[in-house]
Chains A and B, each alone.
Chain A
Amino acid sequence: KQEVTQIPAALSVPEGENLVLNCSFTDSAIYNLQWFRQDPGKGLTSLLLIQSSQREQTSGRLNASLDKSSGRSTLYIAASQPGDSATYLCAVPSGGSNYKLTFGKGTLLTVNP
């Protein structure tokens, strides 16, 4: 059974700092990995999807990497801003599918002005 772990569970940084969020998964036979952002009282916003054949995916100040063989992904946020404060979730399809997502429990990020 696929298990997804996110470390740290919570992170507090001063504005402007670069930071890395970690995601690990137990079954490396995945089609892709998706990073989401969740704001309080709101749904999940898809940030980046990395396909299994890719090593990195970038969107603005966000860069996600994927190392399937070691079962790891990182989300790098450059020059953090208070508006980046949210919970970040990673998810991978499980059970040999590309649609049954297994989620980590998330990292709660607080960026202090």
Chain B
Amino acid sequence: DADVTQTPRNRITKTGKRIMLECSQTKGHDRMYWYRQDPGLGLRLIYYSFDVKDINKGEISDGYSVSRQAQAKFSLSLESAIPNQTALYFCATSSPGQRNNEQFFGPGTRLTVL
């Protein structure tokens, strides 16, 4: 079984729609992250969370919001999707006490906004 899972794996939506991407982990890690990957731009950090009550903006948080429902669950929302949010989205987890905070990634969600 995968340690970090993401749902859905693929999603096509229309401009203006609200979208939620979900991430769950069984690694027992405290820290969770959301990244997006765009061709030619690499991966960029959107939001990160150290625990349920500690959520922080990353490099490109505009247009996104997150919710840490439990230690194992971290959701990313697009309140009103726009075409330039078309990208591959990854969730990751880490623990500061394990291997210098090595990050482990989920399989990704491919989001297309028409």
Bound-state CA distance A89–B35 (Å) is 14
**Chain B residues whose C-beta falls within 8 Å of the C-beta of A31 in the assembled complex:** 100-101
| B103 and A46 contact, CB distance less than 8 A | yes
| A32 and B100 contact, CB distance less than 8 A | yes
A34-B103 CB under 8 A given contacts A98-B96, A100-B48: yes
**Chain B residues whose C-beta falls within 8 Å of the C-beta of A91 in the assembled complex:** 43, 103
Binds A, one of B14-22, B69-77, B104-112: B104-112
A87-101 toward B: CB 8 Å interface, digit per residue (1/0)?
A: 001010100001111
Q: Number of contact residues on B: which range applies?
A: 20 to 34
Q: Tell me whether A25 is interfacial, beta carbon within 8 Å.
A: no
**Chain A residues whose C-beta falls within 8 Å of the C-beta of B12 in the assembled complex:** none
A residues whose Cβ falls under 8 Å from a Cβ of B = 4, 31-32, 34, 36, 42-46, 49, 51, 89, 91, 93, 98-101, 103-106
| CB closest residue in chain A, given B109 | A43
| B45 and A43 contact, CB distance less than 8 A | no
**Chain A residues whose C-beta falls within 8 Å of the C-beta of B45 in the assembled complex:** 100-101
Checking A43, A49, A103, A106 against B107 with a beta-carbon cut-off of 8 angstroms, the contacting residue is: A43
Q: Tell me whether B102 is interfacial, beta carbon within 8 Å.
A: yes
**Chain B residues whose C-beta falls within 8 Å of the C-beta of A36 in the assembled complex:** 105
| B103 and A100 contact, CB distance less than 8 A | no
Checking B4, B43, B48, B90 against A99 with a beta-carbon cut-off of 8 angstroms, the contacting residue is: B48
Bound-state CA distance A31–B102 (Å) is 11
Bound-state CA distance A42–B103 (Å) is 16
A and B contact pairs by CB, cutoff 8 A, 26 listed:
A4-B42, A31-B101, A32-B100, A32-B102, A34-B102, A42-B107, A42-B108, A43-B4, A43-B90, A43-B107, A43-B108, A44-B43, A46-B102, A51-B100, A89-B42, A91-B43, A91-B103, A98-B100, A98-B101, A99-B31, A99-B103, A100-B45, A101-B103, A103-B44, A105-B40, A106-B42
